[in-house]
Amino acid sequence: MAVEPKSASQRATQHTYQDGPAVTRAVGAGRTLAAGMPRLMLEARRVAATVIHGLHGRRRAGPGENFWQYRRFVSGEPAARVDWRRSARDDHLYVRELEWEAAHTVWIWPDRSPSMQFASPLVRDTKLYRALVVALALAEVLVEGGERVGIPGLVRPTGSRNVVDLIAQAIMHDRNERTSLPPNFAPSPLAEVVLLSDLWSEIGEVRRTLTQLSGSGAHGHVVQIVDPAEETFPYWGRIQFVEPEGGGHVTAGRAETWRADYAARIARHRAEIRAETDRLGFSFSIHRTDRPASELLLALHARIGAGTTHSATRWHGPAAPRVAT
């Protein structure tokens, strides 16, 4: 049985556990998100606070306006660089160094498409909730470290201390179609892009998006956010699966007989994504919503600013459980 992402694979994972079809639930997604935004923002700030202590921006000496540190004068340097007031307090000459200012822009894309509304009984929150918590927490941590953060097509890069409020307001008032992948835009060569999505789009669409993002020389970090049920396929008996973005559905007489084919198709889809990220020098990781959000936040913060990554040192998240056949 062939299983395709965003069609059959979504039918096989977006099972309606609650009353009403998935499409009906998606209609009120915007209203539900607005109602839950205060809790989401508090959770994002809590997650950011748990990891922000001990983390530092990439500060170093260089051209800028803010004082960085004093260092000993080195023979051969221009005498004009000596800080005579500081040197008068010691037997040595000192140079006053400034902090290098090159605020680095990080674009964060949280997938808000209907498929992200899914949450199985195995977890408390939807994939959308987790993606937004991580996006807001990451924005807070990065701005605290002196970086600028933006949301493609929604929020221009900013280093504002109230970045969480700015992004939350923009998301709540966004009337555009909620697509899985970011719109076409050209990040600067020194920028980085963080993609938080379930990545159940067709592989051709994923390839085109990643190639376009890398076209300017920007670095990227791709995170597939999944519900544990999408990993283990815990379905038995006769079940109707509903595709949340197209309204299609399919009925399985014995759902357990689909498990092996489903697992193989998911593994193939991920292998294709990983091959593309490896080709472009992007990182790729998988994050399950039953894992702590702080785990992903720490991994992303460590990876951002590290430049081109190598697959041998990439963090791929906790291993997915083996699927019984």
pLDDT at 9: 40
Q: What are phi and psi of 263, to 5 degrees?
A: -60, -40
Is the CB of residue 206 less than 8 Å from the CB of residue 276?
yes
Does pLDDT of 297 surpass 60? yes
Confidence of residue 275 (pLDDT cuts 50, 70, 90): very high
- Read off the pTM: 0.72
Confidence of residue 75 (pLDDT cuts 50, 70, 90): confident
Strands (E), the chain: 67-72, 94-98, 105-110, 148-151, 155-158, 192-197, 219-226, 239-242, 249-252, 283-288
Does pLDDT of 13 surpass 80? no
pLDDT at 180: 94
Which of the residue ranges 38-52, 60-74, 177-191, 278-292 has the most confident prediction, judged by mean pLDDT? 278-292
- 87-118 per-position pLDDT tens digit: 888 888 988 776 444 558 999 999 999 999 99
- 26-73 per-position pLDDT tens digit: 445 556 666 778 889 999 999 999 877 655 444 444 444 455 577 888
The whole-number average pLDDT for the span 15-24 is 42
pLDDT at 106: 95
Q: What percent of the chain has pLDDT over 90?
A: 49
Hey, what long-range contacts does 50-57 have (CB within 8 A, 24 or more apart)? 50/294, 51/137, 51/141, 51/294, 51/297, 51/298, 51/301, 52/140, 52/141, 52/144, 55/141, 55/144, 55/145, 55/301, 56/145, 57/144, 57/145, 57/146, 57/147
Does pLDDT of 252 surpass 90? no
pLDDT at 205: 96
Q: In whole angstroms, what is the distance from residue 66 CA to residue 97 CA?
A: 9
